[in-house]
Amino acid sequence: MGQIKVEKCIKNGKTIEGLYIIEPTVHRDDRGYFVETYNQRDFEEAGLNMVFVQDNQSCSVKGVLRGLHYQKQYPQGKLVRVLKGRVFDVAVDLRTGSDTYGMWYGIELTEENKKQFYISEGFAHGFLVLSDIAEFAYKVTDFYHPGDEGGLIWNDSEIGIEWPVEDGMELIFSDKDTKWGGLSETFRFQ
């Protein structure tokens, strides 16, 4: 029943290997809709052979900016989507030797567009909530290891992420997300 459309992420004419936009087929009728959010066979047929070990979900209010996070020794690939609301989701390439090291890619994920974003191991990840509330779900390829956390400051000028902060929007951060360093100070994946 599934079938997905997979698109590589291109920025400034460069393909950022390891990032994919995934659009599942949405079956709509007068009752509502049905969508397969993950089908291992469909993913494998599209060349996406990751194995997920954990599912996570968060709920945040407008203006919350979570990230940019990664795990150093136990990196996680993440398949992210929005169940309710809208977010601007971002990945930053931290892979040493990558042609796109330090480059970021952002996409708006909404409950209406049902798009998913796959972020491979070796990227920092974060998102900004654009709606009054957002429920965010993601599958990961490794377990969470609390002592292995790393981060990148959200507004590093060297990276230059263009966050869609609306006029009058108050940004809300966790304490740790205000203390991360910039690209030149952060961990690099080998």
Summarize pLDDT for 117-134 with one digit per residue, the tens: 999 999 999 999 999 999
3-state secondary structure (DSSP) of residue 41: helix
User: Is a pLDDT exceeding 90 seen at residue 170?
Assistant: yes
* 3-state secondary structure string across 67-85: EEEEECCCCCCEEEEEEEC
Please name every residue paired with 6 in a beta bridge, in sequence order, or none if there are none: 22
Mean pLDDT of the chain: 95
Per-residue pLDDT at 186 exceeds 90: no
Q: What residues does each domain of the chain span?
A: 52-185
* Residue 2 pLDDT: 56
Residues 29-87: tens digit of each pLDDT: 999 999 999 999 999 999 999 999 999 999 999 999 999 999 999 999 999 999 999 99
Active-site residue set:
69, 138
State the CATH architecture for 52-185. Answer: Sandwich (2.60)
According to the model, what pLDDT value does residue 1 have? 45
